[in-house]
Each structure stands twice: as structure tokens, then as C-alpha cells.
Amino acid sequence: MAKNFVSNKDETVVMFKNPFLEKLSRIHWSVPLILYVPVAFYFLYRALFVLKLGILSIIGLYFSGIAIWTLTEYVLHRFVFHAHFPGKLGARISFIVHGVHHDYPKDSKRLVMVPSISIPLAVIFYTLFYFVFGPVYASPAFAGLITGYLIYDMTHYAIHHYNTKSPFWLSLKQHHAIHHYSESDRGYGVSTKFWDHVFRTMFRKPKEAKQNVEA
């Protein structure tokens, strides 16, 4: 099996000579929770107590937002994170965006999305939701999207750094391990395999990477 990583230890490689940029590229796994749990609660509060939406409407829109995130996660991972940009500059961008994670998959400081990227993306997605769902229904749907993003980030961290005996989590862990160590051109789902089934990007030889899954 080809070795598709530089180091499988929890170590961080320097990406930027500028100390400020380098600091921005590293993040503790808890930061997204600190930033975005209050955001999700705010939009749910707004939907219920300010906009006076019904419980069933809120629940439906909230879970629609989570579902939209799962597709967003797949699309970003497949078509943005794994994009191969041309030239030396393109290769550098590809490395910064996602290549560093494949070279150092156990690096605990580069496993969740940094705020310098997640905050602009959140603003963009809220704007899209505002125009697609309207100013009223956007609130619970956006809260669901934020929840889906947090599930993704926490799942990604956990499957790289936590052991589990749960069949469900072990299945996700194996799925992501195969993506890292065997077939990086497939298996783009992290929090769910659903879209890999839909778009036929499940693995050709899943048994080849079982040895990379830690019990």
C-alpha cells in the first residue's frame, strides 16, 4: 500500500514564515464550539421567541439545515479541499488548504476549521440562506447548518484522536482512514457516508486500509 502521509504522529509542521499567519493556521479543537454553539442557540431563540415560528416548522427547518451541511461538507471536501491548482503557487495553495492535513493527519492543531475561514463562510452561508429561505425561515435553517458544521468538526477531530467501541463511530473512523491511507480520491464524507453512496465515491477496496484503524 502506498504511504500517503509524511508523519502519523501528533506533530505540527510550519506552514508560514510570518508568525502571525502561522498562529492563525493552528487551532484548538474546542474553539468552534466556543464560537458557534452560542450562534446556533441565538438563531433558534430568534426563531422561537422573536419570529414566533411554530415548533414543527423550526424542527423541520433545523434538520433541513443539518442535511444541507452534510452535502456542503461533501462538496467542499471533494471539489475544494482536493482541488489540484496549477503551478507552484497552486501547489502551495493546495497544500495550505488541505494537503497539510493529508501529510500530517494526526496533527491535532489542524483538524478543525480555523475562524479565519469558518467566519467568512458562515457569513456567506447565512446570506444565501437569507435569500433562499427568506428572512424568517433562514434563522432555524441556519442554526441547523451551524449544528451540522460542528458535528462535522468534532467528528473529524474524534475519529483522528479518540478510540471507541461503538460500531457507528468505528465505521466512520474506518471510512476516513481509508480516505487518508488508501484511496484519497474517494470517501469524501466525514460525518456521514450518505453522499459517497449517492455520488458513487465509495471505496474500491475497503479492506486494504483496515490495518490503519486504531481500536
- Tens of pLDDT, residue by residue over 83-111, are 988 899 999 999 999 999 999 999 999 99
Predicted local confidence at residue 209, as pLDDT: 47
| C-alpha torsion 158→118→91→108, nearest 10 | -30
| Kind and range of the H or E run holding 159 | helix 115-161
pLDDT tens-digit readout, 28-80: 999 999 999 999 999 999 999 999 999 999 999 999 999 999 999 999 999 99
Q: Write b or e for each residue in 142-168: b if 16 or more Cβ atoms lie within 10 A of its Cβ, otherwise e.
A: bbbbbbbbbbbbbbbbbbbeeeeeeee
Provide the pLDDT confidence category of residue 118 given band limits of 50, 70 and 90: very high
The CA-atom distances, in angstroms, between 189 and each of 91, 100, 123, 192 are: 23, 18, 23, 5
Residue 195, pLDDT > 90, answer yes
Provide the pLDDT confidence category of residue 164 given band limits of 50, 70 and 90: confident
Predicted local confidence at residue 150, as pLDDT: 98
Residue 181, pLDDT > 60, answer yes
Name the nearest CA neighbour of 65 among 133, 130, 10, 144.
144
Provide the pLDDT confidence category of residue 206 given band limits of 50, 70 and 90: low
More confident residue, 96 or 148: 148
pTM of the full structure: 0.91
Residue 213, pLDDT > 50, answer no
Domain regions of the chain by residue span? 19-102+111-212
d(CA 154, CA 213): 18
d(CA 6, CA 104): 6
Q: What is the Cβ-side half-sphere exposure of residue 196, based on CA atoms within 13 angstroms?
A: 21
Name the nearest CA neighbour of 189 among 198, 176, 174.
176
Residue 205, pLDDT > 70, answer no
d(CA 39, CA 143): 7
